[in-house]
Amino acid sequence: MTVLDWLIALPALGALVVPMMSLPPENQRLIRYFGIAIALVELGLAIGMAVAFKLHTSSYQFVTKVHWIGAFGIAWYLGADGISLVLVLLTAVLFAIAMFTMKGVKDYRAYVGWMLLLEAACMGSFTALDLFLFFVFFELTLVPSYFLISDFGLGASGRAAIKFFVYTFAGSALLLVGIVSLVFIHDHQTGHLTFSLPALMHTRLPKGTAILLFLAFAAAFAVKTPIFPFHTWSPDTYRSAPIPAVVILAGVMAKLGAYGLIRFNLELFPATSRELAWLMLTLGVVGILYGAIVAAGERDLGRMVAYSSLSHMGFIVLGIFAFSTEGLSGSTLQMVNHGIYTAAIFLLLGMIYERRGTLDMNKLGGLQKKAPIFAGVFILVVMGMIGLPGLNGFVGEFLILLGTFITHRWWAVVAVLGVVLSAVYLLWMYQRVFHGEAKDDRSFRDLAPREALLLLPLVALIVVLGVYPIPLLSRINPTTSAIVHHVASAPALGNSGAPQAVASIVTGGAK
Amino acid sequence: MLVLGLVIGFPLLGFLVLLAFGKRIGDPGAGWVGTIAIALSFVAAVVTWILLLSKHAGQRTQVLRLFQWIHAGGFHVNITFRADPLSVVMMLFVTGVAALIHLYSIGYMKRDARFHQFFVYLNLFVFSMLVLVTANNLPLTFLGWEGVGACSYWLISFWFERPSAASAGKKAFIINRIGDMGFMLGTFLVFENLHSVSYSQVLPAAHRLPAGTAEAIALLFFLAAAGKSAQLPLFTWLLDAMEGPTPVSALIHAATMVTAGVYLMARLSPILALAHAASTTIAIIGVVTAFVAAMAATSQTDIKKIVAFSTVSQLGYMMLGIGTGAYVAAIFLMVTHAFYKALIFLSSGSVIHSLDSEQSIRRMGALAKLMPITAWTMIIAWLSIAGVPPFSGFFSKGSILEDAFGRNELLWVVGVVTALLTAYYMGRLVFVVFYGKPRWQEVTKGHEPHESPRIMTIPLIVLAVAAAVAGLLNLPYSGLRFLHNWLSPVFGSALVSYHLSASEKVLLPATDAVVALLGVVIAWRLWRNHSERKALEPTVLLKGWYLDSFYDRTFARGGTALAKFGDRVVDPTIIDGAVGGVAWLFRWVGGLGRKVQSGLVRSYLLIMVGGIVVMLAYVLVSAAR
Amino acid sequence: MSIPGSWYLVVAALLFGLGAFGVLTRRNVIVMFMSVELMLNAVNLTFVTYARMLNDVGGQVAVFFVLVVAAAEVVVGLGIIVAIFRHRATVTVDDISSLKG
């Protein structure tokens, strides 16, 4: 047993225990405390893991491998490299904060239970090294998030939940097909049936098959990230999901997509990634610009942040497919940064909604005069999103653009426009919500101490990671440079044999 | 070089203290905390200067390394600061002018509801500005660069209840961001070619850049500088920036931040020296900006707008200096400009303050007797900016024009015409505001305007002295070119020196002086007894050549329309439509299948048995074959 | 004299056909249920016969499985039928079509 097993087992066990805690209504908050306690222990585990993490090596650490379904070569196979590590940290931090955020929920048992299950699934997804295991965790994230959105959301959340579920599920179906095909091709070549990622990395694929498999994997991750044009579920979902859930959805689960692109698309199909980089880079750049433009046209704050996420995730995709260490490190760091400032902005939006019952910019206005501290925290987070140097958004964005510029210059040149556009829509939004005279006489409570405490860790991270991101970067860098090397050194795709290989899958390889 | 850390550290400390306790310290204590922090920073800057002075001319570059900031792949950036003659000059005048403006603000911002917040932003601004000028690598400079931009955003929209102020702040930040694209791309190009972004490594290795790349880098950084230093075509934000409190206009939008672009160009002089086409472009854009803005300044009626256009015009001169390789002259003009332009703004502020925030010169007049200190300091500033000898502007502008003449006579001609305009429009301002008939009765509702309190006039007097005598910094005589001797090791071979004949050396300054006096006289003749002359104030100039409304119509409205199109049409109909279409297709197919589901168990069974029969038949037939 | 194995198979086939006919033609759920039991036992008979003919005990093992499943099916099925009868007072299948798509 390593720390990774505990990271998954602890919330999973918690999720099992919570439904059994039938307490009288006045003791409901005990369930909440239980959830918070588990999330905090989990955070402690994650921090301990980060401290114990060995620098200067790109190999998987804390590896645990137990045969699970032996007949199909499926194993309980976990391990963490630098990328997994920082995402596990992000997950632990955001879940702890999301647990604290829960307030005014009727059914704490269901809520805490689903949240804990979601945490276990996210942790599992970020550390699984067995494709089947990954798929199980990846799918497992859907169930709790569906219920969190539909049962606890705002407004038309049922419809949004279904949209979310169907979109992601359609992508996952392709992922499953891709995984199974890859495993059988590998079995066919080596006579060794396994779902283990390191083993499958050595599968030789004919060009046509490789491209199909790459696209099958990419589709699932593109929906989750989201990448243009697979994004339309996100504005509806972010708009109507409850705030703690949307913190997790936008902060953690969106990273599952980008993580999957790095871990599976880049590592399993390095040559294909090179071949199709133009496509992914273009989708990334289109996402950056399109997301920013549409965000400027939005009136609803939640939807606006969803489109800004599309734009920011476009940067991350750009860095992933730039194939330079700078770009990939930047993308990984930006995943953490995006998680942090998106979580902060959604918490703030939640507070606005709590006070005013609306997120429509046209109905808000002049809030800075009524709540200066609230406005101060808000503008700090917004500046982080804009990518002001000294705050966290800058470091990742700068590295991504730099890395892309070195290898794919013209994409970076176009993507830089996103830097201007993000200032346009975010500052415009800020002006409409906070500047000017108040539209009515209703008061707007400034930050309560409890709310300030909730935001404090995130705000501190926004500043600290902007000035001193080295602790994260030094853990990310060995892994990213190894992956970049892996991609660069993979032999180019051959042209021969594509049709036969596909045929052999269809007939079950029976020849 | 620990003292360098103090120069930057004091404003940061002041910022943090004010952020945490500002509200409790209150008015005017918060102002004093801010002022003292900057004053201490100025003292530390002086110490740094003395320390450098004690070193040999070739070894005056000191580096303070704090910690590693970013590292990925081959890309390293440290938090390192650099004290060299150029950054020390910048430090000295930035902290000096900032300290005076802080002091002035204590009086000006008195009784403002957000008094302490003003000083929070102001200290943060000085900190960012110092990071900008002392950073030893491009990304750290960029940190300061964006930091001053953000502070400028907060300070312009300081009175955010006014929609115009809020919009102006946003506009300033966004237009600066357009320039920042150039900064980022330029940094990338430098890194790609020289594998470093540290000045210590990039600047000595600049000669290794291919010529075309050097041109591209120079132009990209000039884009950044054009945004920050309000050059054509990006200067419109500076006019709107006048929505901020007047001390902000003085500090940020006249003396320090807007000159950051000039500083950046001077810092990158080794690269600029390789880029001839880019240098020419910079010189032309600079001189055209100077002329266009000066023309617009002649017709403004808002006192701050006149000064703002004047700032754009003076920045154009500095860029002209950069473009012709006259880096020392550009820095010299930057320093003297900081003195007299800050003074003009503060004097204007004093007038505005006493007239209950009235800014139209139409409703001023005859204030010289009521506000003698303000009037006299303004007149000194006017004579300085006009280039009347022996005030500082005469020497600083003169040296720019000399080098422009050396480069190309046409540049010089436009420069001299602009100098005439400068003397004229500032004269117009002085006469209309301080002389003629009083027209402020409506504004003040009876009571008379009075001189500002001493806390505001002391900075005026100090700045007036500086504006008058700053020419001493760099007199055009061989032994007295202090600034030139101090800075020339930094620029080295990038610094171009043009050889002028003996007669040109006499005639050029004489022309400057004559032109300046001519402008003064014309202004006196035309505006001594007038406050309005429609023929001399055409609408096209009043509206700033319609550049702003052009941008508003094309980019702002076009962009908004595009955004709404994306939000209301593309996403819901096209993309969601495609997804919805797929969903509809499945429903349709499902509808076909629905008919089979009659709910009658026996019909299901019949289908089942039928299926079994078919399968059996298949097995039997294939077995029989 | 022993009876040849194929006779058993014929009986089983007849039983199966009888059961299938019953399921398809009768409307009373209970009778349909009995018919299904008939089909199951026809299959059981086939299993046993082949086990005997091929000397493979696997067929007899399969019969045990079928018996267990059939027992379970009876429990669940009759439970459902009783529930429906209580609800609708009828056990005629044609009246029950609430699962219509």
Q: Which residues of B touch C23 (CB under 8 A)?
A: 605
**SS3 for A196?**
strand
Please give the residue of chain B at the shortest CA–CA distance from C27.
B602
Q: What is the pLDDT of residues C65-93, one digit of tens each?
A: 999 999 998 899 889 888 888 888 887 87
Domain annotation covers residue B150: no
Please give the residue of chain C at the shortest CA–CA distance from B604.
C24
C-alpha–C-alpha distance, residues B554 and B438, integer Å: 42
C-alpha–C-alpha distance, residues B83 and B44, integer Å: 12
Is A247 in contact with A346 (CB distance < 8 Å)? yes
Whether chains A and C touch (3+ CB pairs under 8 A) is answered by no
The answer for residues whose C-beta is within 8 angstroms of residue B273's C-beta and 6 or more apart is: B206, B279, B325, B493, B494
Please give the residue of chain B at the shortest CA–CA distance from C95.
B600
pLDDT at A507: 46
A500 has pLDDT over 60: no
Domain annotation covers residue B260: no
Same domain? For B2 and B69 the reply is yes
pLDDT at A510: 41
> Which band of pLDDT confidence, cut at 50, 70 and 90, is reported for residue A44?
very high
Cβ atoms within 10 A of the Cβ of C73, count? 15
Q: Angle B186-B188-B190 (CA atoms, 0-180°, nearest 5)? A: 70
pLDDT at C1: 61
pLDDT at B150: 92
- Is the model more confident about A385 or about B110? A385
Q: What is the pLDDT of residues A144-153, one digit of tens each?
A: 888 888 888 7
A120 has pLDDT over 60: yes
Average confidence (pLDDT) over A310-324? 92
Q: Which residues of B touch C98 (CB under 8 A)?
A: 599
C-alpha–C-alpha distance, residues B175 and B225, integer Å: 11
**What are C's interface residues with B at a Cβ cutoff of 8 A?**
20, 23-24, 27, 32, 93-94, 96-101
Threshold 0.80, pTM exceeds: yes
Residue indicated by tokens 């332009």 = B341
Show which of B102, B136, B170 is a domain's final residue.
B136
3-state SS string for A257-270: HHHHHHHHHHHHCH
Domain annotation covers residue B433: no
Same domain? For B63 and B98 the reply is yes
Give the domain ranges of chain A: 270-495
Assign domain C5-90 one CATH number from 3.40.50.300, 1.10.287.3510, 3.10.20.600, 3.30.420.40. 1.10.287.3510
Q: What is the pLDDT of residues B567-585, one digit of tens each?
A: 777 777 777 777 777 778 8
> Which band of pLDDT confidence, cut at 50, 70 and 90, is reported for residue A495?
low
> Which band of pLDDT confidence, cut at 50, 70 and 90, is reported for residue C10?
very high
Phi–psi pair at B256, nearest 5 degrees: -115, -70
pLDDT at B589: 85
**Mean pLDDT over the full length of chain A:** 87
Q: Which residues of B touch C24 (CB under 8 A)?
A: 602, 605-606, 609
DSSP C28: B
Q: Which chains have 3 or more CB–CB distances shorter than 8 Å to chain A?
A: B
Of residues B94, B124, B119, the one with CA closest to residue B28: B119
For testing contact with chain A, the best of B24, B65, B75 (most A CBs within 10 A): B75
C-alpha–C-alpha distance, residues B299 and B592, integer Å: 77
Burial class (CB in 10 A: 0-12, 13-18, 19+), B450: exposed
A189: its two tokens = 């070549």
Smallest Cβ–Cβ distance between B600 and the set C20, C23, C97 belongs to C97
Smallest Cβ–Cβ distance between B609 and the set C20, C98, C99 belongs to C20
> In which domain, by residue range, is B565 found?
546-583
User: How many domains, in total, are found in chain B?
Assistant: 3
pLDDT at A331: 93
Min CA distance, B289 vs chain A (Å)? 24
A502 has pLDDT over 70: no
Q: Which chains have 3 or more CB–CB distances shorter than 8 Å to chain C?
A: B
**SS3 for A68?**
strand
Alpha helices in A298-320 (DSSP H): 301-320
> Which band of pLDDT confidence, cut at 50, 70 and 90, is reported for residue A298?
confident
Min CA distance, C65 vs chain B (Å)? 22
Q: Angle B418-B219-A314 (CA atoms, 0-180°, nearest 5)? A: 130
For testing contact with chain C, the best of B587, B600, B603, B613 (most C CBs within 10 A): B600
User: Got the DSSP string for B457-487?
Assistant: HHHHHHHHHHHHHGGGGG-SSGGG-HHHHHH
Domain annotation covers residue B376: no
> Which band of pLDDT confidence, cut at 50, 70 and 90, is reported for residue A104?
low
Of residues B327, B445, B430, B452, the one with CA closest to residue B384: B430
pLDDT at A138: 92
Q: Is the peptide bond before A226 cis (omega within 30 degrees of 0)?
A: yes
Residues 184-223 on B with a CB inside 8 Å of A are 184-185, 187-189, 191-192
Burial class (CB in 10 A: 0-12, 13-18, 19+), A1: exposed
A216 has pLDDT over 70: yes
A123 has pLDDT over 80: yes
- Is the model more confident about A217 or about A498? A217
Left if phi > 0, otherwise alpha if psi is -120 to 50, otherwise beta: which for B196?
beta
Question: What is the separation, in whole angstroms, between the first and last Cα of chain A?
Answer: 42
Average confidence (pLDDT) over B488-493? 81
> Which band of pLDDT confidence, cut at 50, 70 and 90, is reported for residue C101?
low
C-alpha–C-alpha distance, residues A338 and B505, integer Å: 60
> Which band of pLDDT confidence, cut at 50, 70 and 90, is reported for residue A508?
very low
Is A366 in contact with A432 (CB distance < 8 Å)? no
**Mean pLDDT over the full length of chain B:** 87
Same domain? For B562 and B607 the reply is no
Residues 34-73 on B with a CB inside 8 Å of A are 67-73
Q: Do A419 and B146 touch (CB under 8 A)?
A: no
> Which band of pLDDT confidence, cut at 50, 70 and 90, is reported for residue A28?
confident
B214 has pLDDT over 50: yes
Same domain? For B22 and B78 the reply is yes
